[in-house]
Amino acid sequence: MKLNARNNPLLQIQYMALKTGTFEFLDGNCCWVLKLYVTRAQMGDTISGADTPTTEPKSGAGTDAARIGEVKAWLASQFEAVGKEVPDFEYTPRSIAHLHNLATVSQAKTQAANIVANDFRQKAVEFRAQAARIREILESVGLAQEGLPSNVLASVKVLANMANLLNIRDTELSSFLVAAGDISLRKTGVEEKRAKVQKESKILLDYTRKAISRLTYLKKTLAQLEDDVAPCESQSKNWEINLGVMASKERQYMQQYSNYKALLNRVGYTPEISHGVLVEMDEHRKDLEKKTKPILDTLRSYQDLPPDKALAALAIEDKKRQYAAAEKYLEDILHSALATSD
């Protein structure tokens, strides 16, 4: 029996069997050719490196021999089907295992394909017998195909093609109506799915447009930021320079503040003197100025009198005593204020 793609679809794969060789199944005129590319020297290296000799029981040896026989028979049948001979190669446990599995699967698939083919043949025989009976019935009632007009034959063919297209078993009107209803339901479902897909596509299109607009805006922003890099870098450098200058000024001002604070501590300056005491002393000064102003005015009036040395001398001595008394009073007040603050 020849193996083709319809009988055994398993042969459509490429099977890598060994490390040093391949088993390929290729299509050639609807037949599958088994090619084995294995060298005897390489197979010997594989056996010596991977399969170490072990002592196995007699039952295991018998099983291996049976599997080798099955593999050889299967390979012979496959190559005989395409008119070629099985190439010589050395059998190893690994290659035998792979080939035995492949043969088992291939035989199972072939057997299943044969069963399906026999079933189809039986159905074909039944259909031919049924067609013969229907032909006899039509001939008996005068409706043979040869006696029908051409337009009737054309209508019958159209009806049969329509039945095959609608996948119905007969040409009854009810069957056509049911099939048409099924197609209408399918059409409605397809239209609903189409409307749903169109709605989703519109939403996705809107999202895509928004994303493109956002991407364009981001690109413009990025370009603007890249253009602003150089000015910002120069400005940041200026800020760094100014920051250094300000830091040095801060250190200078802090040093001056420390110096002034030490100086004030040395001279005994306190916050109380700078506020309440100084204000009070200023008020006393203003009071003394008010008291000494009449005396000064009197002295100035004496300057307009005719010169009289004796009276002038007496008046001058009197005013000097008053002025000295006022200065002493002012000094006493100042000393008392300072003593109170200390």
The pLDDT tens digits of the residues spanning 94-128 come to 888 888 898 899 989 999 999 999 999 999 999 89
User: Could you give the CA distance from residue 222 to residue 216 in angstroms, rounded to a whole number?
Assistant: 10
Label residue 142 by pLDDT band (50, 70, 90).
confident
The yes-or-no verdict on residue 309 having pLDDT over 90 is no
Q: What is the mean pLDDT of residues 327-332?
A: 82
Contacts of 317 (CB under 8 A, 6+ apart): none
The reported pLDDT for the residue numbered 43 is: 41
Q: What is the mean pLDDT of residues 259-272?
A: 78
pTM: 0.34
Mean of per-residue pLDDT scores for the chain: 77
Phi, psi of 32 (to 5 degrees): -110, 125
The reported pLDDT for the residue numbered 186 is: 92
The reported pLDDT for the residue numbered 226 is: 92
Quick: pLDDT tens for 61-83.
567 788 888 888 888 888 888 88
The reported pLDDT for the residue numbered 311 is: 72
Comparing CA positions, the residue from 148, 196, 18 lying closest to residue 92 is: 18
Label residue 341 by pLDDT band (50, 70, 90).
low
User: Could you give the CA distance from residue 313 to residue 298 in angstroms, rounded to a whole number?
Assistant: 14
Quick: pLDDT tens for 151-164.
888 888 888 888 88
Residue 198: how many other CB atoms lie within 10 Å: 10
User: Could you give the CA distance from residue 245 to residue 213 in angstroms, rounded to a whole number?
Assistant: 47
